[in-house]
Structure 1
Amino acid sequence: MTTTTPNPSYPSWVRELHSPPNPKSKSASSIRDPPGFSASLTGKRAQLSKTQPHKPPTPEETDILKVKKSWEVALAPAKQLPMNAIMMYMSGNSLQIFSIMMVFMLFKNPLQALMQTNAVFTKYETPRTRGKMWVVKAVYVLMNLVALGLGIWKVNGMGLLPTTRSDWLAWESQREPVERTVFAF
């Protein structure tokens, strides 16, 4: 690939595009280094990082990291609970499309998470961490059940749970009166 120098009749910006200015050297720069910065220390650090390669983690360290990460995954539903509770409170108790969609999502997400519990933790499970994983999975299931409880609270607040006697009138039989009164003249 050959670069040609543009004709001097071209504008100056075209000539500058084809021949960019030379980079300024560090010593010629008018900007001073920030306080506490030393170019010699930076060079030594770069040399140390190049000469000392990072050693790979041991299997024990890897297992510890996997257990920590699995705890983060297990506690993630608990971190969403305050936001979900505020959203449920703010959506109100009336039957509107927004509140119905919010309640639907509040039931759908924990149910999906409960069905995929083993799949979520398979990448963190090793033969050495299997004994610790059942506790992590139990906490994960508990946090998702708390999220389902929040959904049940919201559905009850909306009046959609059949908790009163009037909700079951269709299945009650009519009472037969013991006595009858007749109007007489």
Structure 2
Amino acid sequence: MSALPPPPPPQWVVALNSPMPRPSKAANSIPDPPGFTSSNTRGGKQVSLHNPTEMHHDTDRHQRQQQDKQQATRPEETDTLKLKKAWEIAMAPSKQLPMQAIMMYMSGNTLQIFSIMMVLMLFKGPIQGLINTNAAFAKYETPTTKARLVGVKAVYVLMQLLLFALGVWKVNGMGLLPTTRSDWLAWESERQPLERAFFAFK
């Protein structure tokens, strides 16, 4: 019985052992992508791909120029972002004014635990904000932004004082401030009503 011939090798073995075909003229007619032309003119000089030293130096010079520009503009952009963030912190208390005013109005002027707690919380926020003014803007303060942060801090203090004034107005409405004559004069007597009304069942 005769031996069978060996099976043909797989296609990938044939492709691996066969040499690469030379590019045809049609392939050479395809233009090179931008930046990879066989000859490029830069600064009045002809740069060839066969001598890549010149192209390498030009690329390094271009990268150095870009880095210098970025380093020159980066501090200015950083200072602008810091000032923008500082203004957001300075104006943040103004957003609490309408909400706090409505809450103080709705709590009433009677002396009860709810209204007293609301007033204490209203005073606590501005006092802590005024004490920690420098700490709130410490991370945004640099030698170039220190002078411009003075106005930002002034606005921040003004917003905190407005919140404090709202608390003073609420305490005055509750009758806890000595703003009447009877609070200061010992001989000031209490006003006597002309008539009294009592509830009675019939």
TM-score by length of 2: 0.56
1:165 aligns with 2:181: yes
2:59 maps to what in 1?
Answer: none
Match for residue 97 of structure 2 among 45, 63, 81: 81
Shift in Å, 1:173: 9.4
1:150 aligns with 2:185: no
Match for residue 61 of structure 1 among 71, 77, 80: 77
Structure 2 counterparts to residues 1-185 of structure 1, below 5 A: 58-170=74-186
Deviations 1:112-165 (A, max 9, x none): 100000000000111110111000000000000000000000001111111001
1:23 maps to what in 2?
Answer: none
Aligned length: 119
Q: CA RMSD in A?
A: 1.9
Check the 8 A contact 2:182/2:188 in 1, yes or no.
no
Moved over 6 A (4+): none
Shift in Å, 1:169: 3.5
2:27 maps to what in 1?
Answer: none
How far apart, CA to CA, are the structure 2 residues paired with 1:92 and 1:112?
Answer: 25
Check the 8 A contact 2:181/2:188 in 1, yes or no.
no
Shift in Å, 1:65: 0.4
How far apart, CA to CA, are the structure 2 residues paired with 1:169 and 1:100?
Answer: 27
DSSP-derived class of the 2:137 partner: helix
Shift in Å, 1:62: 0.6
Check the 8 A contact 2:93/2:160 in 1, yes or no.
yes
TM-score by length of 1: 0.61
The structure with the largest alpha-carbon Rg is 2
Shift in Å, 1:168: 2.0
Which one-letter code corresponds to 1:104 in the other structure?
L
How far apart, CA to CA, are the structure 1 residues paired with 2:188 and 2:98?
Answer: 44
